[in-house]
Structure 1
Amino acid sequence: MSLATLEAATASGVISADQRDRLLAMEAGPASGETEQSDEENLRLIGGGNDLFVTVGTVLLTAGFYFVLNTILAGRPLLIAAALGLFAWIVAEVVTRQHRMKLSSTVLALLFAASGTVLLVLAVQAGLGIRMPDSLWALIAMRGPVSQAGYLVLGGVILAAALYFWRFRVPILAGVVAIAATLLAFLQTALMLYDGVTSGTVAPPSLQDGPELVRAALYMPLVCGLLIFATAVALDLHDRERRTIWSDCAFWLHVVSAPMLVHPLFIMATGQDIAFGRIEPGTDATVMLTLLIIGFVYVALAIDRRSLLVPTLAYFGTLGIYYLVHSAANTTGIPPFALILLVVGSLVILFGAGWQRIRRLIIGSTLPTSVLSKLPPFRIPPFRT
């Protein structure tokens, strides 16, 4: 049975999307150490030209509907947000539920998440009577309403995204849930610190303690990033062949977790001055920066995820490599920015052109077979003349 037939059967409701994915997995046969598949990271983000065409129509329809609402319901943003959320759900019943158009489904899911967030913010703000404080004492007195508002808004976003995902199975919502959960963890940490300061169990920080306080606060995104990354890896290991929707969810979780891991680790390893945005490029910082780059590259190769490596190279390329090549720029007269572009561009092309061969060479020769059997298989691209 062809893939087109399976997609048509899914769109008409003869089989479910999960059954389609399981049939494709059965057709592929048992996973082996090597598979003659494409070298591409299988991300089902766009379904073809018709999907792109429908996405343009979805954007135009949404814009027109918004302007109509803005005219009819002028000055009533809560009703506008509710109407946009309902609009996204209704259109998704056709575009996503029936025709499984991937890119337009992603746009509709983001529209629903944004509308739901605005709706929750406006409803909670009106319900709790929260207003902008006009003094420090007024801000301190808002601890109770602010905490309730944060829990209601972020918890509501998570529940709404989970409900939409249960209905339509759009992978990008995994990233939305991860971001909302991270903000919820930040809120809880800030409230605990606030309660400690007001009760006297925690000494209030002085102005001189500002950089160290911000540095200590980096542990929160680092912990959240590790949890999100671990969840993404678990989904990758669950779907080694990357044929189901869970591998797409893992992709978005990697996209969310990568900056949360890279930024705190870079600052902790190199001793960057947060307050003034600079680092001291000593020997220890250079060694630690090099080890970090190697570590992230190795992990990305092991789990076969370019999505983890792209923000890593972007971050290290714009911040870290600048200091590594700065001395060369001083002697040659070449602008440091040009050297940064050369280094990062070379790495991107190198890994993009030979990703699977580099992965097999490094990972295949350094990890035991028992570990390799649990990782995504090596995908050797077919020879092209």
Structure 2
Amino acid sequence: MDRDKLKAAIEADVISADQAARLEAMFTRKEGEEAEAEPLRFLSNLNDVFLSIGLVILFVGLGAGLSISIFTSGTVRFEHFAPVIFGLLAAIAWGLSEYFCARRKLLLPSIILAIIWSVCVGVAAYFLLVWNVFQEHGGEIASSVFTGSEPSDSFFEDLATQSRTSAILGILVATGAALTYYIRFRLPFSQFLMMITLSLIAFILMPGFETLVAMGVVSLLLAIFFDARDPHRSSRLSDNAFWLHVAAAPQLVYGIRGIVEGSVPEGSAMVHVALVSVLAVLTILSLALNRRALIISGLVTFGWAIWNLFQAFGDSILMKFAAPFLLIGAIVVLLGAGWKTARKILLAGMPSTGLLGRVFPKEV
């Protein structure tokens, strides 16, 4: 497939960058060449980066400009000030999405707009909900300001309870906003937003590393579900799975790290042995699934654990300082260069058809 022609078609707005990537992958497979695993379909050229930076700056300016204009005009009541500002920003983000996402199919700017839309809708909902506490205790707050008296304990209890409830409801509204964005624009990144917001709600309700691991497992299972429906990584289902893997990876890695550190005596080298063992299992799972997200997310933790092991058991400067970098670098380079070979060895006895064949697709 002629890449120059595909590039010309993208620039002429005949096809999107995402469609071009899919066409190239399809023809590459047909021509018998090896297609790269996990292509990054959210970035096609530097113009996407340029537009994305411009969008961020634009919305900072819009937020400041709207805030100053509405505040100085006095047309909006104080309790509605924040919801109006964030509501307007959300509406503008949606309007720009109709152009950049629905029409132009520019994925990185669409990701920026999806984040702005979901966050602004959630924040607007939160401020609408939390203001009830201040309305109910307005007289008490005014009295404390002018007389110096302290508000009653019930005020702080109500504020804490209502703020927590409002935060949960606000995040839930943000989840709904991300779902709405996905339904309208079919942007795979919306899956990431939905999963992260739901994980945040779960963590507020049940704080702990176990919650992180549980939500990471849910994200991973959903990602595997989408991957199993598209083992050749050629449709939007695979893109949905990619972002769910990205959501699952840090939750699994840092949740497991927290559990391991909490169950092993502080300062013990066993915590690093346990972490390396867990991350080795995740690496094997990544190879089997043909997804690098778990490995990349755990790379910092893996490097930290390896470093501490060498500090504990190394008996020379070479072993303490040079050896960790050599080992980590060699592992990453070997995995990167021999990914397909490693997968062929790992999946040698795995069936190529059926459910297992779709969840763990073999190399062609």
TM-score (norm 1): 0.74
Select the residue among 281, 285, 303 that pairs with 2:269.
281
Select the residue among 317, 331, 336 that pairs with 1:333.
317
Is residue 262 of structure 1 aligned with residue 253 of structure 2? yes
Aligned residue for 1:306? Answer: 292
Kindly report which structure 2 residues correspond to 1:1-385, keeping only aligned pairs within 5 A, or say none.
Answer: 8=13, 36-74=33-71, 76-129=81-134, 139-141=156-158, 145-146=162-163, 148-189=165-206, 217-269=208-260, 278-282=266-270, 285=271, 288-318=274-304, 320-329=305-314, 331-334=315-318, 336=320, 339-362=323-346, 364-370=347-353, 373-375=357-359, 377-378=361-362
The total of aligned residue pairs comes to 336
Match of 2:36, SS state, is: coil
Q: RMSD over aligned Cα, in angstroms?
A: 3.7
Whichever structure has more helix as a proportion of its residues is: 2
**Which residue identity is paired with 1:295?**
V
- Would you say the 8 A contact 2:340–2:363 is kept in 1? yes
Is 68-77 or 38-47 further displaced after alignment? Answer: 68-77
For residues 374 and 81 of structure 1, the distance between their equivalents in structure 2, rounded to whole angstroms, comes to 43
Q: Percent identity at matched positions?
A: 25
Match of 2:200, SS state, is: helix
For residues 80 and 327 of structure 1, the distance between their equivalents in structure 2, rounded to whole angstroms, comes to 54
For residues 126 and 299 of structure 2, the distance between their equivalents in structure 1, rounded to whole angstroms, comes to 36
Give the Å deviation of 1:145: 2.4
Give the Å deviation of 1:347: 2.3
Give the Å deviation of 1:64: 3.4
Task: Go from structure 1 to structure 2 and tell me whether the alpha carbon gap of 1:356 and 1:161 turns closer, same or farther (over 3 Å shift).
Answer: same
Task: Go from structure 1 to structure 2 and tell me whether the alpha carbon gap of 1:323 and 1:78 turns closer, same or farther (over 3 Å shift).
Answer: same
Give the Å deviation of 1:50: 3.4
Give the Å deviation of 1:87: 1.3
Give the Å deviation of 1:117: 2.6
Give the Å deviation of 1:112: 1.4
Task: Go from structure 1 to structure 2 and tell me whether the alpha carbon gap of 1:49 and 1:25 turns closer, same or farther (over 3 Å shift).
Answer: closer
Task: Go from structure 1 to structure 2 and tell me whether the alpha carbon gap of 1:271 and 1:91 turns closer, same or farther (over 3 Å shift).
Answer: closer
Task: Go from structure 1 to structure 2 and tell me whether the alpha carbon gap of 1:174 and 1:279 turns closer, same or farther (over 3 Å shift).
Answer: farther
Task: Go from structure 1 to structure 2 and tell me whether the alpha carbon gap of 1:135 and 1:299 turns closer, same or farther (over 3 Å shift).
Answer: farther
- Would you say the 8 A contact 2:212–2:252 is kept in 1? yes
Is 42-51 or 93-102 further displaced after alignment? Answer: 42-51
Is 86-95 or 115-124 further displaced after alignment? Answer: 115-124
In structure 1, list runs of 5 or more residues that go unmatched: 12-16, 191-216, 381-385
- Would you say the 8 A contact 1:150–1:187 is kept in 2? no
For 1:246-292, what per-residue CA distance to the aligned partner results, in whole angstroms no more than 9, with x for missing partners? 32222222122112212232344465569xxx44114xx56533431
- Would you say the 8 A contact 1:35–1:379 is kept in 2? no
For residues 339 and 39 of structure 1, the distance between their equivalents in structure 2, rounded to whole angstroms, comes to 31
In structure 2, list runs of 5 or more residues that go unmatched: 73-80, 142-149
For residues 357 and 260 of structure 2, the distance between their equivalents in structure 1, rounded to whole angstroms, comes to 33
| Off by >6 Å, runs of 4+ in structure 1 | 130-137
Task: Go from structure 1 to structure 2 and tell me whether the alpha carbon gap of 1:379 and 1:87 turns closer, same or farther (over 3 Å shift).
Answer: farther
Task: Go from structure 1 to structure 2 and tell me whether the alpha carbon gap of 1:238 and 1:43 turns closer, same or farther (over 3 Å shift).
Answer: farther
Match of 1:280, SS state, is: coil
For residues 35 and 237 of structure 1, the distance between their equivalents in structure 2, rounded to whole angstroms, comes to 23
Is 56-65 or 130-139 further displaced after alignment? Answer: 130-139
Match of 2:103, SS state, is: coil
- Would you say the 8 A contact 1:255–1:307 is kept in 2? yes
**Which residue identity is paired with 2:202?**
A
- Would you say the 8 A contact 1:42–1:242 is kept in 2? no
Task: Go from structure 1 to structure 2 and tell me whether the alpha carbon gap of 1:287 and 1:26 turns closer, same or farther (over 3 Å shift).
Answer: closer
For 1:304-362, what per-residue CA distance to the aligned partner results, in whole angstroms no more than 9, with x for missing partners? 111111111221222x2233211354x21358565544333332222222222222222
For residues 359 and 168 of structure 1, the distance between their equivalents in structure 2, rounded to whole angstroms, comes to 35
**Which residue identity is paired with 1:83?**
L
- Would you say the 8 A contact 1:241–1:376 is kept in 2? no
